[in-house]
Amino acid sequence: MKKLATIALTGALGAVATTSLFNQNKHQQLTATH
């Protein structure tokens, strides 16, 4: 049970990190084009 919770937490953190990185790259591209 505890293992599943840890995996879920790690997955969520990974998704958040990926999303923030993606948004950062998007923002950099936007500022670069203007």
Q: Of 5 and 29, which is predicted with more confidence?
A: 5
**For the residues 10-28, what does the mean pLDDT come to?**
92
Confidence at residue 13, expressed as pLDDT on a 0 to 100 scale: 95
Confidence at residue 31, expressed as pLDDT on a 0 to 100 scale: 82
pLDDT exceeds cutoff 70 at 34: no
Q: Of 25 and 33, which is predicted with more confidence?
A: 25
Kindly report, residue by residue over 3-18, the tens digit of the pLDDT.
Answer: 999 999 999 999 999 9
HEC sequence for the chain: CHHHHHHHHHHHHHHHHHHHHHHHHHHHHHHHHC
Q: Rounded CA gap, 31 and 34, in Å?
A: 5
Q: What is the mean pLDDT of the chain?
A: 90
